[in-house]
Amino acid sequence: MRVRGVRSATGLDWRTLLRQQRFGSDLTIDLGDSIGSLGWWVSAFTFLMLCAVVLGLGAQVPALVGDITAGPTPAALETMAAQAIAPLARGGATGAEALPNTRLVEPLAEAPERPRLETTATIDRSDSFEAALRRAGVGKQDIAAVSQLLRPIANPGALPRGTVIDLVLGRRETRATPRPLDLIGLRAAFDLRIAIARENGALVLRRIPIAIDSTPLRVAGTVGEGRGGGLPRALAGAGVPAAAVADAIRALGYAIDFQHGIGKKDRFDVIVAQDRAETGEVRFGNLLYAALKRDGKEDVTLARFAQGQAAGEFFRANGESAKKGLMRTPVDGARLTSGFGMRFHPLLAFSRMHQGVDFGAPAGSPIMAAASGTVVYAAPHGGHGNYVSLRHNKDLVTGYAHMSRFAVKTGQHVNQGQVIGYVGSTGLSTGPHLHYEVWLRGAAVSPMQLKFVGGSQLAGADFARFKAMLGRLEALSPTGKR
């Protein structure tokens, strides 16, 4: 007898409940839920059976046995640490470097050339403009073209030694041919720079003017600041160029006895021609003005003025030429060590007439002609050692003794202030010095006491132009010490 229509309290028949128990139930076993129920006992039994199966299988499966790889040695660990990225960021500890894998590098048949080469060439002492360009790799045709463009402005052969030439060379087709010149730049003059560039296959020249400030340099100071070197050292210490120092000493030497005419409290004032380029270079020219305000003595003011001649000569403020008679001191910055007259000779050990004056100066100091004249003697002369004698007119002769070497020859004409020799200690001499003699009508006279009539005198329009120039110079603001 079959029972039909039997349903559970949930409204489901027994078949549906069995199907849900087999296939639709959650596979996750939760033994903490519905403890003691039929489902709980089924789940517990299933769990125990699974544990038994695992234990049974584990006892029969053998363990897998293999070799253990040894770890890196301490030295290997140190090398690895040195080549790692993080340690290298702080500096490697061993100095080791990671080597590239050269097996992956393919060698090139030849190194590729730069498409554009920027370089410089310098005209050396025994060099020429063309030789400097050839040495830098410029081709003959480009050198000829550049030289032709330069000639109307500056002679390439007359460019000063040391001139730096900026070059840009372009790409060439083969290594056997020189690179084409794309750009060349150089200083053609103090106030001009030249640039030659290639445009549409041809070289084109451009002028680049350089602004110049030609305000003269004016320097003033006190002779006492020379620290024992007198006026020359004071001028040099104040920033006066060396050539201007020599010109100032030479110009003032016509009017001042440097042994007794300059004191430490005397003040000097010099003006030098100067050009300053906007690029920073400075070029000094001639000495234009030299003045000495002497403590308790007559002041001396000299200014250069040209009467048709290029360089001009120095005149006093009253228009009188500074070149009158002989230079009192024919050696720059020398000191008087022995005067004119009877004296005890240190080498001969007896008294005799000293027919000149002695100036102590360093060996090799230049000796100047005291006045214009003709060299009548230039050779060794007994106790005088190397001796030069100059005849200035029919009455006046000067002599210069103990020279280390000559700068003139017998028969040569010399101008006042021209170098005729160099200080030495030849002949009867105890040390480097110049023995200077003046002979007037055959008799020796003291160079320090000889009086001469003044030189040429400016007058008329020349004197007016001179006074105007002198006023402009004295109105300049000093740029040196005061």
- What DSSP string describes 72-136? PPHHHHHHHHHHSHHHHHH--SS---PPP-GGGPPPPSSPPPPS-EEEEEE--TT--HHHHHHHT
What is the CATH code for 212-324+453-482?
3.10.450.350
Q: What is the CB neighbour count within 10 angstroms for residue 124?
A: 13
344: confidence class by pLDDT, cuts 50, 70, 90: very low
The Cα–Cα gap between 157 and 138 comes to: 17
pLDDT score of 103 more than 60: yes
**Predicted local distance difference test score (pLDDT) of residue 347:** 45
Closest residue by Cα to residue 336 from 401, 257, 250: 257
**Predicted local distance difference test score (pLDDT) of residue 309:** 54
Portion of the chain with pLDDT greater than 70, in percent: 79
Mean model confidence pLDDT for the chain: 81
**Predicted local distance difference test score (pLDDT) of residue 183:** 94
Query: Do the domains spanning 117-209 and 212-324+453-482 agree at the CATH topology level?
Result: yes
pLDDT score of 423 more than 70: yes
**Predicted local distance difference test score (pLDDT) of residue 399:** 93
**Predicted local distance difference test score (pLDDT) of residue 94:** 59
The Cα–Cα gap between 329 and 316 comes to: 18
- Phi, psi for 388 (deg, rounded to 5): -125, 135
Lowest mean pLDDT among 87-101, 246-260, 265-279, 380-394: 87-101
**Predicted local distance difference test score (pLDDT) of residue 415:** 81
pLDDT digits over 113-123, tens only?
Answer: 888 899 999 99
pLDDT score of 482 more than 60: no
pLDDT digits over 290-329, tens only?
Answer: 999 987 787 889 999 986 555 678 888 988 888 766 777 7
Greater pLDDT, 283 or 337 = 283
**Predicted local distance difference test score (pLDDT) of residue 443:** 87
Average pLDDT rounded to a whole number, residues 379-400: 91
**Predicted local distance difference test score (pLDDT) of residue 148:** 92
- Inter-CA distances, 195 with 166, 199, 278, Å: 9, 12, 18
Highest averaged pLDDT of the listed ranges 27-31, 305-309, 469-473: 469-473
**Predicted local distance difference test score (pLDDT) of residue 58:** 67
Domain ranges for the chain = 117-209, 212-324+453-482, 335-445
* Core vs surface per residue 353-390: b (16+ CB within 10 A) or e: ebbbbbbbbeeebbbbbbbebebeebeebeebbbbbbb
The Cα–Cα gap between 295 and 314 comes to: 23
pLDDT score of 444 more than 60: yes
291 by Cβ neighbours in 10 Å (0-12 / 13-18 / 19+) ranks as buried
CATH of 335-445, one of 2.60.40.10, 2.70.70.10, 2.40.50.100, 3.40.50.1820: 2.70.70.10
Lowest mean pLDDT among 88-97, 185-194, 344-353: 344-353
Average pLDDT rounded to a whole number, residues 67-92: 69
What is the CATH code for 117-209?
3.10.450.350
- Phi, psi for 131 (deg, rounded to 5): -65, -40
